[in-house]
Amino acid sequence: MDLTKKVGMNIRAIRKSQNLTIDELAEKCDFQSPYLSDVERGERNITLQTLNKILDALNVGPGKVLIPEYIDEPNSMNVRNELIQLILNMLEDKNEDDLMMLLNVSNEIFRTYK
């Protein structure tokens, strides 16, 4: 399953767990309901700004949408170490420009969710 569909499914699951209708979440985000429905079905790519609005409206961090299977487990050093290793493995073949871009995006994400 591609990331767009997975993120959309996770947004829908969180919305439903909070007993919000799609109309209520769309209103909180200042979106149209059909747009948010497309996002939840993975039929529309979203920007970081759009994701940020949705996360704020749901009052969750990005990990809850991107990697919920790790977030829902009890915090343990093994899970943390596994996540760090996955990140390091992804970075091994990246060039300096890609790494700098990733650093900038990461800084922006973490600045937003402090």
Mean pLDDT over the full length of the chain: 84
What pLDDT, on a 0 to 100 scale, did the predictor assign at position 50? 93
Indicate the pLDDT class of residue 75, thresholds 50, 70 and 90: low
Q: Could you give the CA distance from residue 96 to residue 62 in angstroms, rounded to a whole number?
A: 25
Q: What is the CATH number of domain 3-68?
A: 1.10.260.40
- Residue 52: closest CA among 12, 111, 98: 111
Question: Of 74, 51, 49, which Cα lies nearest the Cα of 61?
Answer: 51
Q: Which of 9-13, 61-65, 69-73 has the lowest mean pLDDT?
A: 69-73
The residue among 19 and 67 whose pLDDT is bigger is 19
pLDDT at 20: 94
Domain boundaries, the chain: 3-68, 76-112
